[in-house]
Chains A and B, each alone.
Chain A
Amino acid sequence: METQSQQLVAVIEGLSHSFPDGTGTISKMDLDLLPGEFVSLVGPSGCGKSTLLRLVAGLLEPTSGAIRRDPARGVGFVFQSPVLLPWRTVADNVALPGEISGEKRADRRRRVEELLELVGLKDQARRYPSQLSGGMRMRVSIARALSGRPGLLLMDEPFAALDDLTRSRLQEDLLSLRAQEGFTTLFVTHNVPEAVYLSDRVLCLSSRPARALSQVRIPEPTERDPEWRTDPRAALLAREISRALGGRGP
């Protein structure tokens, strides 16, 4: 038991949270995150998904219950908007976490180069955020979140503001990033097909305060490719998730 929980990236046990003004956001949530797993959270707007991510990141304190994270693995956070520093170049934005933690300059530079290569922005290293497209900015934001080699990547509707084409490209890139870097992902989205495309598990949440309504496993295929988007099984899973959320299905 002990050894198993040590292998987990994060354990959420009986987690509840409410804001000081009494707004209850999370109610008795349990969730284990296995190494390398991709878990999506879907739920109605305002139910507490962002709050849950902030709790896992340690930006908020639980009201009751506990979150245990493997301390050896860091956390990366990708916000809904890219949240870049406009006065820094792409490379310097990605280097920011390393700069704050006091990483050696040479190591930092190597890591930034590697990450920009991974997210396909090698040629943009010296440009400024204002010169990039929305999709490129989000790539920078993802590269920055990965700069400290986190074991757990938290993403809060990272692709919600992007057009369909860009969104699909970034979804595919995220999967290949995960394959190369091996992080665990907790991913918030409103987009059911997106959750089906990316996840190993989808957790359907109730309206506020968020409770787990049901969990849909997406065991296959292990290697996702664009064909999975139009696979009939994917459509069935999407319908199952929508039903769980109380909709009629897509």
Chain B
Amino acid sequence: MKRHILRLLPPAGSMVLFLVAWHLAVRWFSVPSYLVPSPGDVLVASWDARSDLVPATLATLAGAATGFALSLVAGTLGAILFSQARWIRDSLYPWAIFLQTVPIVAIAPLIVLWSGPGFASIVLVSFLLSVFPILSNGVEGMSRIDPSLLELFRLCRAARWQELLLLRLPHSVPFLVAGARVSAGLTVIGAIVGEFFAGYGASRPGLGYLVQMSAAQMKTELLFASVGASTFLGLLVFLAVGATSSLLLARLQTPPSHH
């Protein structure tokens, strides 16, 4: 516990220093608050806008969480599919790489065009942005297996499904988890980008929509507050997935008696 607190000290310290420097710089140079509000102004604006910010954060979280769940399922299923035959992998992997390289901002309007503004589009953008790390890590985990282990299964005359269930799938769990950690961060970004394009159609406006509106209306404090909430949300999701994955790995890899 003490070690945990000690490890939290440096980031917390740098954070406080940064806020103080920000506050002093705004005062010192008398920056107008429509350009850079002071941290205090942002805090006040956040409090005033809490009835907008909290539901917006929850709405974005819902989009991101749904996108993440989809990525987990589709990424794992895709990795299983790819591991089944070389020709499947060769013919489909380029499409997966296309997903990775195409700028999401460029195809987001297309997605909105096809599936309409609203939750579905937001989830889709979030999914498209976050599925690749899980898929590619999963493919690696299913295929980068000690050849002797594969020979062992062949010697036991294991059926293909047995090889999948008893060897490839458990072997790829740490890989999938590592992919999920990366994907967790992307999923929030994806939801916010999705809201930029499709947020106006959602029943509840999310953070992306709030960022867009406050920027258009020159409400800089609210803009800062929304950006702050987005960052906070991203951090929260990242930490939650990180903690869950550590727990999962601890259970699967190292024995329970160890701790």
Interface residues of A (CB under 8 A from B): 54, 57-59, 75, 77, 79, 81, 83, 85-87, 89, 96-97, 99-101, 126-128, 130-131, 148
Of B146, B157, B166, B254, the contact of A96 (CB 8 Å cutoff) = B166
Q: What residues of B have a CB within 8 angstroms of the CB of A77 in the complex?
A: 151-152, 155
Residues of the B chain whose Cβ atoms lie less than 8 Å from the Cβ of A83 = 146, 148-149, 152
Partner of A131, one of B151, B153, B258: B258
Residues of A within 8 A of B257 (CB): 126-127
How far is A106 from B232 in the complex, measured between Cα atoms in Å?
Answer: 53
Q: Which of B170, B173, B255 has the most CB of A within 10 A?
A: B255
In the complex, what residue of chain B is closest to A156 when comparing beta carbons? B148
Chain B residue numbers with a CB within 8 Å of A96 are: 156, 166
Smallest Cβ-Cβ distance to B153: which chain A residue: A100
Q: Mark B123-162, 1 if CB is under 8 A from A, else 0.
A: 0000000000000000000000010110111111110001
- 30 A-B residue pairs with CB within 8 Å: A54-B151, A58-B155, A59-B151, A77-B151, A77-B155, A79-B148, A79-B152, A81-B148, A83-B146, A85-B149, A85-B166, A85-B167, A85-B170, A87-B170, A87-B173, A89-B255, A96-B156, A96-B166, A97-B156, A99-B166, A100-B153, A100-B157, A100-B158, A100-B162, A101-B156, A101-B157, A128-B254, A128-B255, A130-B253, A131-B255
Mark contacts of B247-259 with chain A using CB atoms, 8 A cut-off: 1 yes-contact digit, 0 otherwise.
Answer: 0000011110110
Beyond A83-B146, A101-B156, A131-B258, 15 additional pairs, beta carbon < 8 A: A58-B155, A75-B155, A77-B152, A79-B148, A79-B151, A85-B166, A87-B170, A87-B252, A96-B156, A96-B166, A100-B158, A100-B162, A130-B253, A130-B254, A131-B255
Instruction: Specify the chain A residue showing the minimal Cβ separation from B255.
Output: A128
Within 8 A of A (CB), among B211-240: none
Alpha-carbon separation in the docked complex, A121 to B181 (Å): 38
Which residues of chain A come closer than 8 Å to B167, judged between CB atoms?
A: 85
The interface residues of chain B, by DSSP majority, are classed as: helix
Q: A114 → chain B, closest Cβ, in Å? A: 19
Contacts between chains A and B (CB distance < 8 A), count: 51
Q: Which of B155, B162, B253, B254 has the most CB of A within 10 A?
A: B155
- Which chain B residues border A128 with CB–CB below 8 Å? 254-255
Roughly how many angstroms separate A54 CA and B173 CA in the complex, as a whole number?
A: 30
B155 contact set on A, CB distance < 8 A: 57-59, 75, 77
Q: Report chain B residues within 8 Å CB of A85.
A: 149, 166-167, 170
How far, in Å, is B166 (CB) from chain A's closest CB? 7
> Hey, which chain B residues are within 8 Å of A131, CB to CB?
255, 258
Q: How far is the CA of A37 from the CA of B152 in the complex (A)?
A: 24
The one of B152, B157, B253 in contact with A87, judged by C-beta atoms closer than 8 angstroms, is B253
The distance in angstroms between the C-alpha atoms of A86 and B153, with both chains bound, is 15
- How far, in angstroms, from A79 to B151 measured CA to CA in the complex? 10
A96-B166, A99-B166, A100-B162 known; A86-B253 Cβ under 8 A: yes
In the bound complex, CA of A59 to CA of B167 (Å): 18
Q: Which of A85, A96, A97, A100 has the most CB of B within 10 A?
A: A100
Q: Which residue on B lies nearest to A86, using beta carbons?
A: B253
* A77-B151, A83-B146, A83-B149 given; A127·B156 CB < 8 A: no
Nearest-CB distance from A140 to chain B (Å)? 13
Q: Which 7 residue pairs across A and B have the least CB separation, nearest first?
A: A100-B156, A128-B255, A83-B148, A97-B156, A100-B158, A79-B148, A87-B170
Question: Which residues of A are found within 8 Å of B156, using beta-carbon distances?
Answer: 96-97, 100-101, 148
Residues of A within 8 A of B255 (CB): 89, 127-128, 130-131
Chain B residues with CB under 8 Å of A89's CB are 255
Interface centre among B154, B156, B253 (most CB of A within 10 A): B156
User: Shortest Cβ distance from B175 into chain A, in angstroms?
Assistant: 13
Task: State the Cβ distance, A146 to closest chain B Cβ, in Å.
Answer: 13
Q: Tell me, in angstroms, the Cα distance from A1 to B173 when the chains sit together.
A: 54
Q: In the bound complex, what is the Cα–Cα distance between A101 and B152 (angstroms)?
A: 13
Interchain CA distance A181-B153 in the complex, whole Å: 23
A80 to B157, CA, bound (A): 21
